[in-house]
Amino acid sequence: MTARPLKILYVAGLSPNDSSQYRLWALERLGHSVVSLNAYGYQPQSDLLKKVVYRVQSGPWVARLNRDILAMAEREKPDIFWADKLLSLRPETLDKLRSLGVVSVSYMIDNAFGPRRDPGWRLYMKDIPHFDLHVVQRDKNIADYKASGARDVIKIQTAYEPTIHFPPPAGWSDKDRDRGVSFIGTPYDDRPQFLTRLWKEFELPVVVSGGLVWKKALGPEATAALYRGHGELFREEYREGIWKSKINLSFITHANQDEFVHKSFEIAACQGFLLAERSPGHLARFVEDEEAVFFSGIEECVAKIRRYLPNEEARERIAVAGRARAVRDGYHNDAQVAAIVQRLRSLVATRSSQA
């Protein structure tokens, strides 16, 4: 018997460039009824005040968000309340949702327990025991959350969005690629120094794209040599940046204790040649030198670049195999979100039997 579609109240910062939006799309593609509330509408206009509210998670904007969540829940009567990196939620709001018979889930792409010490976690840490389910990205976080009183925790990997991350047109080749050794992303950890060394010390054709923060991170000389564009690349521009790259670099964010990164799955889905930092998480998801190529440290990275940059045939073979693996093993939002929904269904059934 086919399981009935669920009704889901989905609250997150939503924009066309947010992965939270992609997970909402996946829920809809899976046939569920989704009612959304955009948390971006609950911020002050002043940039300075916005930073203060983000840090302390208090004030009239937070109060209004929590009131509106409860009002929507009472009006829409959802089965599920889905909070996607929602940091302004009060514990009593979750308790009220439970009293209404709504099962709550927190999807957290970041690491609330990591050494990066990002601000904004004050309310979220208090929320942990009040959610019915937590979805996290790291094995370590399962223990962290349980130690903080979590009722249930599952690990789900980050994923690519199939409507955005797909291969280039037939016949695409190096004649269409104007980026040699490419990195598209953020300057976390020692990435600016690493990429600068690839260019300056090893004389490799490095191209960097991302937010304007790169200009400060790289400095004037490296910015002039490496940085391309006028800000972050999203959606079509991001996909085309991967298509136009002979080698796509992907780094683990060590400051966030990541085991793998969604960029690797996006590159593979776009049928780009993936040269990623070696990690147990990456090794478990791609066969080394067949579906992706890995490096540990700059010397090995340089050696792999020098091996594969002139070998278009090998790069294309590995890129095609990487794409096939990503599709076959469900490294996309539909498969990953479906796994979350499966766990949520069991919680909904339990809640219904207790009603």
Domain boundaries of the chain, sorted by first residue: 7-159+332-354, 174-328
Rounded Cα–Cα distance for residues 68 and 74 (Å): 10
CA of 56: how far to CAs of 52, 115, 118, 269, in Å?
6, 19, 12, 38
Q: What is the pLDDT of residue 128?
A: 98
Question: Residue 105 in contact with residue 131, Cβ under 8 Å?
Answer: yes
Residue range 217-266, pLDDT digits in tens: 999 999 999 999 999 999 999 999 999 999 999 999 988 888 899 999 99
Residue range 195-208, pLDDT digits in tens: 999 999 999 999 99
Question: What is the sign of the dihedral through the CA atoms of 87, 162, 231 and 40?
Answer: negative
Overall fold of domain 7-159+332-354: Rossmann fold (3.40.50)
Token output for 112? 């609330």
Residue range 303-321, pLDDT digits in tens: 999 999 999 999 999 999 9
CB-facing half-sphere around the CA of 139: CA atoms within 13 A: 4
What is the pTM assigned to this prediction?
0.93
DSSP state of 46: S
| CATH number attached to the domain at 174-328 | 3.40.50.2000
Q: What is the pLDDT of residue 106?
A: 98
Region of poorest pLDDT, from 41-45, 85-89, 337-341: 41-45
Question: Residue 9 in contact with residue 72, Cβ under 8 Å?
Answer: yes
